[in-house]
Amino acid sequence: MDANIPSGMYKCTICHNVVSHIQGKEFLPCTECNKVSWEIIKQDEDYLASIHHEN
């Protein structure tokens, strides 16, 4: 998937695994099923930016 998609929480449409994504980072295949089929379930850039700064 394009790394420029919006930051947020994404759910795999195959196995329903949920991951966070920060815009500009590489969007990897699902860690559960190894597919690349995501739908956004929550777009919250402030929350994800705070997680990024903690790491």
Q: Helix or strand or coil: residue 10?
A: strand
> Taking the model in full, what pTM does it have?
0.71
Please report, in tens digits, the pLDDT of each residue of the chain (55 residues total).
676 788 889 999 999 999 998 888 888 899 999 999 999 998 865 655 665 555 4
User: How far apart are alpha carbons 20 and 1 in whole angstroms?
Assistant: 14
User: How far apart are alpha carbons 34 and 14 in whole angstroms?
Assistant: 10
Structure tokens belonging to residue 22: 């920060």
User: How far apart are alpha carbons 52 and 39 in whole angstroms?
Assistant: 21
User: How far apart are alpha carbons 32 and 38 in whole angstroms?
Assistant: 13
Residue 7 has a pLDDT of 86
